[in-house]
Every structure is written in C-alpha cells, then in structure tokens.
Amino acid sequence: MSDSRLVVVLGATSAIAQAYARRRAGTAARFALVGRREERLHAIAADLLARGAATAEPVVTELAALDGIEGAVERIRARFGPPQEIVVAYGVLGEQASLERDLAGARATLDVNFTSAVLWLLAFLKQHEAGQPLTAVVIGSVAGDRGRRSNFIYGAAKGGLDVFVQGLAHAYAGTPVRFVMVKPGFVDTPMTAAFVKGGPLWSSPDRVAADMERAVRRGARVVYAPWFWRPIMAVIRYLPWFVFRRLKI
Amino acid sequence: MDRSTAERQKVYAWGRIEPREHAVVPASFADEMVAAVRATDKRPLLCRGLGRSYGDVALNGGGYLLDTTRADHFLSADWATGVVRAEAGLSLDALLRVCVPRGWFLPVSPGTKFVTLGGAVANDVHGKNQESAGTIGCHVRRIGLARSTGEMLELSPDAPLFAATIGGLGLTGVMVWVELQLVPIRSATMEVETLAMRGLEDFFRLSAESADWNYTVSWVDSLARGAALGRGLFIRGRHAAAGPLTPHGHPRLTVPHAARHILNRGTIALFNFLYRTRPWATGRAVMHYDRFFYPLDSLSHWNRLYGRGGFFQHQSVVPMKHAPETLRSLLALTGEHGEPSFLAVLKVMGDRRSPGLLSFPMAGVTLALDLANRGESTRRLLDRMTDLVAAAGGRIYPAKDATMSGEAFRAGYPAWRRLEQHRDPAIMSDFWRRVAA
C-alpha cells in the first residue's frame, strides 16, 4: 500500500472535499486531512478508511494562519512523505454587503480564500523535488470570473487565485507538476446555507466532486462544475458594460 | 451547529398532502446532531432523513426539524465480518454502493433505498424477506443516542431504550449512529421467479410453497372483482449464487414539479392490464438487485404523479386467522373508491419478533396500497379500512399513515405508553401529537 498516492486535503471538512475524497478512497489512496476541527477530521478519516482508503489521518491546523503555513507543510512532509496530490478545498463566503463596511472581515475573507491558499501552494512547491509528479487541485468559483455586485470581495479572492494558478501552470508547463482549477457554481453545502436552494442551477457536492475527479484523470486545466457554468460564465464575462451594469447579479 | 442556523421552510411528507412550516436545522457531523438536541428551546425537535415517510411521522409542524442527511459518515466498517457502524444520515443507497462490491448486502431492504439508516431504524422497516429476517431492528447491534439531558448513550440490545428506539419513530432522542450486521452475498444479481395469481387462493398457496425463496411479494390488480379478486403476480427471489458484485446506478428519470394527476382510473387500468398480461411478465429471470428491490427508485419524485392533491397510503397487517375475509373486504372497499390503487401489494408476514416496542409486523398478511387524495371521501374510506383492520386484530403502519385515529393506534400498539415514557421531552412529531396525545 505504500506506493498508493498521498492526497493532502486542505479543508477536509468541506462538503466538496469530503465528496471528492470519498471518490478517491476507492482507489486506495492515502489521505492527510488538514483542518481545524479534530473530532470532525477523525470522523472523515474513519469514513474514508471504511470506503477503501489505505490510510487517512487528521492534521489539525489553522489553515488561514499565514505565518504557520511553511512549518505545517514541513511537518506534513516529515510525517507522510511527499504528496502526489494537493486539494485546496477550504474557503469562506461571507456576506458581501456587510463585508463592504467591515474591513477586518473583508481582510479575513481575502486571507482565507486567497493569501493563505497561495502560501500553501508555494510552500508545497518550494519543498517539492523537481521531476516528481504532483497534481494540485484548487477549488475556485465562478464568482472569480467577473466582478459582480453580489459577491465581489469573495469573487476578487477567487479570481486572484485563478490568475495565480494560471501563472503556476504556465511556470510548470512541461514538468510533471499539474494544476487543475475547479470552478463550481451554486453548490448545496453548509457554506451556502443562507441561500434559498433548489432549481436547475444548484448541484450537489458529489456532482462537483465527480467533475473534479474526471478533470484530474484527464489532466484538464480548468473545469467548470457542472459543465453548464462554462457557457453561462462566458456570456457573463463578455456582456458589454452597458448591459452588465443594469444586471442585479 | 446550534439551532440558530435554522431556516424556515415548508416541508412535505412523501404523500404531499399538505406542507407544514418548520425551522429546519442541518447537521453535517455527529457533534452538530448532539448539540441540536441539547439546545434549550421550548419548541420541540424531530430528526428527518430523506423524507420517504408518507404521513406525519417525520413532520413536526411549528417546531424544529433536524436534517440529518449530511451526517452520513461511516464510523467503522469491518469487511471481514460485515459489521458497519455509521452516522444515522447515511442512506441505504450510499451504504449499498460501498458494501455490495465487498460482498455484503442489507439484511432487510424496504421498497426504496432512498431512506437513511436512522429513518429505517426509527420506523423499524421490513422487506420482502420479513418472514425469515424480520425487521431491520433484528440486525441492529448498537445504537448511539443523544438525549436532551446531554447524555450520549451507547445502547445495546439489553437496554430498555434500545427496544424503545427501534421503531420508536425518532421520539427517544437523536439517533447519532447505528451499528448494523450486514449479510453476505456472492452476486449483485437475483434469481427471480414470477407466477400468475388468479385470485387470493393462489396468493396463499404460492406463499406457502415458497419456503425456498428468501424474498416474496405480490402485486395485486386492484381493479379485479368477484372471483378474480386478488388476481395479480406473485414474485419470489433469492440472491444469485454467483455473478458480478456491481452496485446500482443512478436514477435517470424525474417527474417534474408541474406534473398533473397522471395516475387516474384510465391510466391505472391500462398499466395494470399491460403489467399483468405482457408476455414476459411470468417466468424465471436473473436481474440486478436494484430492479428487484427498488423498481420505483428509477423514477425520481414519483410521488408527484398523484398531482397537487397528493396521496395516502394504507398499509396494514392482519393476523392470518382473519386474513382472507379481511383482505377481501379491504380490496372490495377500495374498489368503491372512485379511483383504483396503482400499487397494491400483498405479503405474508412471519412471527420473527423485532426487539422494537412499536414494531409493525405481526404474523399474518400485510396489504399496502396508494389512494389519490380526493378529500373527505378518501379519508372516510381510510377510516373504514382502519376499522376493518382493527376488528380483525390487526394494525396500521405508522410510517405510511396520515389518518388513523388515536384509538386505532393505541389498540394496535398497546406498548405505546412505554414508548411515551421513554420519549425525550425535547422531541415530538405531528404523528405522536395526533395519536398519543
């Protein structure tokens, strides 16, 4: 079993991360489950083991503690060895209207969704041996495709992350290090608990996870999950300003 | 998560008779389930899984509903012995996907796999193998139960609360996890034999002759009258001895929200005729367990076929001594209803006792049928059916019921007082308010 892939899941308690890890558990992967709440990480570890994971262990850490990231990566590598896959799955949505007046909250939103994610990726890449294969799966959002009044602070963080991962993919082109940017639309998870759900645009975490798994298998660079967000976001990106400015989206 | 994340929602039961307003609290992990029942609030709480109960056992109008469907983690699984312990929100659908490839199957399967483990235990569900296997409660080894007192109990079969919780309609506390003994299989396919029944005599004869078959069920054409009463198909099956261990797929068809009342006398007559007379209806076949156990699961939201008014289900069991004449009377009564029943199902039940205080099955015959909701006349019909069942010493299945009187319930389930004693004071359901208040 020691030759099975090590998957480091950052934000392992997120609904999409859980659904993705469950799918990967069937391939006897090893999991390092990184998150804040130890009891829940243990529950996820037990769940993945029952579903076929070779090993699954919690790593309790504050994901958005920017100063601790490099040390945490060193500890993870010392304990589990070099990862073959990193999944960046954590994030906070925040409420746009209040964040615009709450600067500390806005900063936290950017730190969690953008700055810390960038640092985790840089820290893993810094310690990665050249020539060894690695896949980084990063969960962004359709909100990062164009700034919209309803969620542009969260959107700016996810859009920044998109550009960052794009640059990494460019920098590592021709090496066995690959990057997959996942852009989910509306997903029925605890993160979106405040929304009225239902209707054709909402999808389940497992649907998104299935698209992620396929993208990783096929080596896609960017995947919209589900697929229909790609044409929707293409329209939203290219709407001329005189139309876009009137939209309440 | 505490109750502050509650969201006001109108919630329907599976019969879609009328929605009731609830504050819905989602739980994704065990600690959230425990916290929800400990929170102090005057309004009562009730767990709800996948909402397949027909009437009001999973409704708690004006109170809280704890949505457990995301709390679906395996806590442990021993694939050498087939013992799994999982959070109560795990669906049988998800459990089968994991256990079938490893050569294990549910010891008892209800008619749909879209129920949670917690819901299956709370209603002590039975299946086509009730005669040999009893209910799901017969295969539960341990239950993790959180009480509003703050206790987290691990119940073993010798604990009085264990018996109260199995078939306890979710009233004894919040079921956090269930430990279940699965049964080994060597194939995901079933050997199935379907035989024509010309009437009720055939049903009783074939039931008696099917001891070699683990699973039996009969479908009855509710339009048949007189001598043909009870005509239909007798279906018996067993796990195939060899074959692939491939789990089921995903449903492909969905009934849209806007569905009108598609099931009416004409469509049902046509369906029943074709279903019974199609040339391939009878004979032997090998089929996947999904087709054998869960034929309706392939059509998502099939309950919308009854249109806006929704529908009722009557499921009763009557002791064998009175079964023939009671079944005749029940089937004749439904014939008087303007619209026939789409699905009428008959099955012999055995005397294997469940540990559950309020378990539904008893040795005898069970009849289940759907009735479109046509208002007062349907309710009167259901009352008359309930009276017939009570007179025969039988009882009605709470998971299916929306109409039985308190007297009928208390007569059918004399142990109800003991469940009331074990009920967690922070928990209540519309069903319990209706029949036990």
Contact list, A210 vs chain B (CB under 8 Å): none
- Domain-located, residue A1: no
Average the pLDDT over B181-210 and give the result: 96
Contact list, B75 vs chain A (CB under 8 Å): 43, 46-47, 50
Q: What is the CATH number of the domain that holds A85?
A: 3.40.50.720
Tens of pLDDT, residues B222-239: 888 888 888 999 999 999
Backbone angles phi, psi at B154, to 5 degrees: -105, 110
Which residues of B, range 53-72, sit inside 8 Å of A by Cβ? 70
Cβ pair B215, B127 in contact under 8 A: yes
- Whether residue B74 lies within 8 A of chain A, CB to CB, comes out as yes
Rg of chain A, C-alpha, whole Å: 18
Which of these CATH numbers, 3.40.50, 3.40.462, 3.40.1130, 3.30.43, describes B189-404? 3.40.462
Q: Which of B30, B84, B98 sits opposite A43 (nearest CB)?
A: B30
Q: Which of B1, B28, B74 sits opposite A50 (nearest CB)?
A: B74
Tens of pLDDT, residues A85-104: 999 999 999 899 999 999 99
> What does the pLDDT read at residue A167?
98
Question: Annotated catalytic, A20?
Answer: no
Cβ pair B282, B195 in contact under 8 A: yes
Residue B259: pLDDT over 90: no
Average the pLDDT over B112-141 and give the result: 98
Tens of pLDDT, residues B286-345: 999 999 999 989 888 888 888 888 999 999 999 999 999 999 999 988 877 766 777 789
Tens of pLDDT, residues B364-378: 999 999 999 989 999
> What does the pLDDT read at residue B1?
40
Q: Do domains B74-185 and B189-404 have the same CATH topology?
A: no
Compare all CA atoms of chain B with the CA of A194 and give the residue at the minimum distance: B7
Tell me what ipTM this predicted complex has.
0.91
Count of structural domains, chain A: 1
Which residues of A, range 131-190, sit inside 8 Å of B by Cβ? 190
* Under-70 pLDDT residues of chain A: 1-3, 194, 196, 198
Size of interface A-B (CB pairs under 8 A): 40
Q: Which domain holds residue A59?
A: 6-244
Q: B246: which 2 tokens?
A: 């491939």
State how far the Cα of A176 lies from the Cα of A179, in Å rounded to an integer: 10
- Look-up of token digits 């293409």: A234
- Whether residue B271 lies within 8 A of chain A, CB to CB, comes out as no
User: Is the Cα torsion angle B166, B167, B172, B175 positive or negative in sign?
Assistant: positive
Could you please state the CATH topology (level 3) that the domain comprising B74-185 is classified under: 3.30.465
Residue B2: pLDDT over 60: no
pTM recorded for the entire structure: 0.93
- Whether residue B51 lies within 8 A of chain A, CB to CB, comes out as no
- Domain-located, residue A249: no
Q: Which of A49, A50, A190 sits opposite B28 (nearest CB)?
A: A190
Average the pLDDT over B78-90 and give the result: 98
Q: How far off is chain B from A114, nearest CA to CA, in Å? A: 26
State how far the Cα of B335 lies from the Cα of B268, in Å rounded to an integer: 13
Q: A116: which 2 tokens?
A: 């810390």
Average the pLDDT over B24-43 and give the result: 91
Strands B311-319 and B395-396: antiparallel
> What does the pLDDT read at residue A2?
41
Which residues of B, range 340-399, sit inside 8 Å of A by Cβ? none
Q: How far off is chain A from B7, nearest CA to CA, in Å? A: 8
Q: In chain B, what are the domain boundaries? A: 74-185, 189-404
